[in-house]
Structure 1
Amino acid sequence: MPGIRIVHRTPLPPPEAWLRLTDWERHGAQVPLTRTIIETAPPTRVGTVFTARTGVGRITFDDPMEVVLWQPPEGAAPGLVRLVKQGRAVTGWAEIAVRPGPAGGSQVEWREELRVRGLGRPFDPLVATAGRLLFSRAVVRLLRA
């Protein structure tokens, strides 16, 4: 499974960065041809399930995810959310950590391991590169005012 790691600094305080990064509906707007469907009632917690549906017309695939760890930042303690991908097309996990930055603001770390079914190990570098580009863009846009 290819590993993806993105580190991003933002002037936003950790609670605000956390709120923006865990607004699951906004995630869909950052990924081309994708919308997010929340399947459980708010607020987000362990057990929250949502699906990122990507495609056009009848040509779509779903990336269902479940929140298995939910620890919002509090004081100097970092926030950490872990998602497990439960789809037929995409499997793996993602983690988003938000901690106070060394010079104020926040430091965000997005880690992800994913597998696209039907693509073997020779495609891992391509999947990792595409994932880094896509998720880096999403992080920047989610944190934008």
Structure 2
Amino acid sequence: MSLFRIERTVPLAPEEVWRRLTDWPAHGRQVPLTRTRVLTPGPSGLGTRFAARTGVGRLSFDDPMEVVRWEPPAPGVPGACRLAKSGRVVLGWALVEVAEAPAGCRVVWTEELAVRGVPRFFDPVLGRAGRVLFGRALDALLRTA
């Protein structure tokens, strides 16, 4: 499995950052050739399931995820959301942490993933690619006008 971490500080309130980062369909709009659909009704929270579908036509795969930890931020209290990935192609987890910072809000995105069929030898490449891809998506989700 490949482990990577992305950190950002943005001039937004933690509650706004949380809202943006837990808007699951918005993630799909930031990742090339990907769309995300929520599979459970109602607002996001513990047990919410969603899937990111990446690819074109028959060369596509689903990355199903479930929220297994849901602790929204509150004044003076950091927030954390953990996702479990259980797909046939992508396995692993992601942890998104949101905390107040002097300049607004600090976000730490930590992810461990494996792609079935890809030898562990390629984990460093997968980690670098994940940092770039998810870093760009994170930057777009947190962009201020």
Aligned partner letter, 2:129: A
Post-superposition offset of 1:137: 0.3
- The equivalent residue for 2:7 is 7
- The equivalent residue for 1:132 is 131
Give the total of aligned pairs: 144
**Identity over aligned pairs, percent:** 56
Q: Distance in 1 between matches of 2:42 and 2:73?
A: 18
CA offsets, 1:16-43, max 9 Å, x none? 0110011001000010000001100121
If the length of structure 1 is used for normalisation, what is the TM-score? 0.97
Q: Distance in 2 between matches of 1:6 and 1:67?
A: 19
- The equivalent residue for 1:120 is 119
Q: Distance in 2 between matches of 1:42 and 1:11?
A: 29
Post-superposition offset of 1:57: 1.4
Alignment of 1:26-65 (within 5 A): 26-65=26-65
If the length of structure 2 is used for normalisation, what is the TM-score? 0.97
- The equivalent residue for 2:141 is 142
What do you get for the CA RMSD once the two structures are aligned? 0.7
Contact 2:9 2:103 in 1 (8 A): no
Aligned partner letter, 1:141: A
Q: Distance in 1 between matches of 2:42 and 2:52?
A: 17
- The equivalent residue for 1:16 is 16
Q: Distance in 2 between matches of 1:67 and 1:30?
A: 20
Alignment of 1:76-95 (within 5 A): 76-95=76-95
Post-superposition offset of 1:11: 0.2
Contact 1:13 1:104 in 2 (8 A): no
CA offsets, 1:58-94, max 9 Å, x none? 2100000000000000111001000000101000000
Aligned partner letter, 2:12: L
Aligned partner letter, 1:113: E
